[in-house]
Amino acid sequence: MARISYMEAARQALAEEMRRDPLVWAVGEDLGRGGVFGQYRGLVEEFGSARISDAPISEAAILGASVGAAMMGTRPVVEMRFSDFALCAVDELVNQAAKARFMFGGQTRVPMVVREPIGMWRSSAAQHSQSLESWYAHIPGLVVACPATPADNKGMLKSAIRCDDPVVYMEHKNLWPLEDEVPDGEHLVPFGVARTLREGRDVTIVSWSAQVHVCARAAETLAQHRIEAEVIDLRTLWPWDQETVLASVSRTGRLLIAHEAVQVGGFGAEIAAVTAEWLGAKVRRLGAPRAPIGYAPTVEDAVRVTEAATVAAVREMVGR
Amino acid sequence: MSETPRRNIDIARLRAHHLTMCRIRALEEAALRGLGDKVVLGAIHPSIGQEAVAAGVVGALRRDDILLSTHRGHGHTLAKGASSEAMLRELFGRVGGNCGGKGGSMHIADFEVGMLGANGVVGANIVIAAGAAHAIKLKGEDKVVCCIFGDGAINRGPFLEGLNWAAVFGLPVLFVCEDNGFAATTRTASMTAGGGPAVRARAIGLPAEEVDGNDVLAVEDTAQAMIAAIRAGGGPRFLHAKTYRLTGHTGVDTAPYRPADEVAARKREEPILRAADLLRGAGVAEAEIEADRIAAEAEMSAAYDAAIAAPFPGPEAAFLDVQDVGSPALGAF
Ligand SMILES: Cc1ncc(C[n+]2csc(CCOP(=O)(O)OP(=O)(O)O)c2C)c(N)n1
Ligand SMILES: [Mg+2]
């Protein structure tokens, strides 16, 4: 165990996997100088520029070439910088990477990790702030991972690199400096297993990525109002841990799903629908209004799902 | 590079460019000050050292011509006629910014002066520019579209697609590759194959020229000739302007990935110094040259003070201008 940051945890995970498997390599713009946020710092010195590879500003080629390289047996870790720029390579991800195995009758696999940092971060405005995880959850063939803690960013990235399916790996930019205890060495977090970070009998709150921390704070506040909230970090949207969520809601009878992404068509809708179908429980969602993200802090904050909004939604559901 | 003969320097023209470049420099310095003062909220990409491209190219456009720019677009936008105070308000996220404080540095647009937007996505403006020129052709107007992008952008697919589109449809657009040697921390040459932007453009059939992008008169002369040919119905043209980014990629990047002596050498060739030298050589008094700098700094200092005094937009701005059909707040908290 060591106390390290969310960013450092991912850096460790990648370095360990690259040491373990010579077929793992990373490619993206500016990686030779540590990457745009510093997630790759020091790696080119250890692994060389063939395995920590720079790239032209060619998102379609970065992703598309990685599909080819993955089909030929290597394991690319593809750096897209911001999930917003990954949109320049949606064909390569959605039509090619996600479908190659199925279309070709199982003759190939596309073992790649597509890192797409998400989220609001320091007035980054409409083209550098989006949370697009639900788009990829909709696409058969893709795994979608949204780590919320340093330990998970290590254990989930390692699992993603070892996974034979293409994994859309969405780190939250606001979490880079977050520090916590992270297990040393072989720490693997399996996909589709949620983490219950707080138990409670009155309501289940499900979230993922940075929003988990907002929900955890909301649960503290709710406790002062004698409301015991169970908080679940879903970790992966596909596969998502229905068992844990349904078991929790069958105890609490109420479910709130909170996410930073736009509420309309967000992944909260899927969780709410499944829970309502199976349990007929009281469900509610909290997501952003269907508006682009603005630059001015007042405008940016207007679409943020806050702790206060979470507390209010739960109190309304519980009736106290 | 094209060596433009300088028999008679048009002093008034050079003076005007010198003033424009000083205004751009002072605006960028005000933006950096704002970053230090924490009133600039998001990332900024300064164009310090690249002012001659903005002054020369945009100076060759008519006011009703159309301009598209990049994340490093403060200079282009100011040269096109946007108000410095509105730009600083935008950088500070305030009411009265060009985009009402909703866009910030990377999304500044000013449609009143024909500035169709900076862009946060590298290369995205190239195809949009082709479309803007397509509309001009459809409407039978004699405007020209000018699309400025960086050296890194030529490795994205839209570069090929946009140039081909403009050539196939014979559109009135001047593509300008503002080559500052870098794409963020990467030396662009290390990730670009072949003979560079102009060679690629020629391969698609666009007449292309290279110019010393720190020589404002050479930039303007070359751009002017190309724009005249485009306006006369000659189809798209391509200008490759070579310059150097004197700052880091963003306002906070100290650029440790390049040697200090390289930067120092390039500083000696920066465009404002060169224009000032030419003015001096042509007999313009030192005080007059200095007056441009002083005027520019005074303008930006006043704009800065006005901008920090402006209020932030209210939260309701988050729900304005989303779309006509359907309420953005529907179904949300
Ligand atoms: C499609 C896309 N990929 C990556 C980025 C991140 N990015 C922003 S600026 C930049 C470098 C651009 O280099 P260049 O085109 O030469 O313009 P310069 O910054 O030098 O003006 C990069 C990679 C982006 N904004 N858009
Ligand atoms: Mg550049």
Among this protein's residues, is A187 annotated catalytic? Answer: no
* pLDDT tier for residue B6 given thresholds of 50, 70 and 90: low
Q: Which domains does chain A have, with CATH numbers?
A: 2-182 (3.40.50.970), 195-318 (3.40.50.920)
- Please tell me the distance between residue B177's alpha carbon and the centre of ligand 2 in angstroms: 9
* pLDDT tier for residue B325 given thresholds of 50, 70 and 90: confident
| Per-residue pLDDT at B132 | 96
Percent of chain A with pLDDT over 90: 99
| Per-residue pLDDT at A264 | 94
Q: Considering only residues 151 to 170 of chain B, which have any Cβ-Cβ distance to chain A shorter than 8 Å? A: 152-153, 155-157
Ligand 1, atom 11: nearest CA belongs to which residue? B183
Q: How far is A189 from chain B (nearest CA, A)?
A: 33
Cβ atoms of B159 and B165 within 8 Å: the answer is no
- Please tell me the distance between residue B30's alpha carbon and the centre of ligand 2 in angstroms: 22
Q: Considering only residues 49 to 88 of chain B, which have any Cβ-Cβ distance to chain A shorter than 8 Å? A: none
ipTM at complex level = 0.90
- Name the closest ligand to CA B122: 1
Cis before A239? omega within 30: yes
What is the CB-side half-sphere exposure of residue A204 using CA atoms within 13 A?
A: 26
Q: What architecture is domain B11-155+174-192+238-305?
A: 3-Layer(aba) Sandwich (3.40)
Phi, psi dihedrals of residue A316, rounded to the nearest 5°: -65, -40
Q: Where are the domains of chain B?
A: 11-155+174-192+238-305
Inter-chain touch B107–A287, beta carbons under 8 Å: no
| Per-residue pLDDT at B2 | 44
| Per-residue pLDDT at A291 | 96
| Per-residue pLDDT at B3 | 46
Would the CB of B120 count as within 6 Å of ligand 1?
A: yes
Cβ atoms of B175 and B147 within 8 Å: the answer is yes
* pLDDT tier for residue B1 given thresholds of 50, 70 and 90: very low
- Residues in chain B, how many? 333
pLDDT tens track for A7-17: 999 999 999 99
Out of A30, A55, A84, whose CB is closest to B185? A30
Using a cut of 0.90, tell me whether the model's pTM lies above it.
Answer: yes
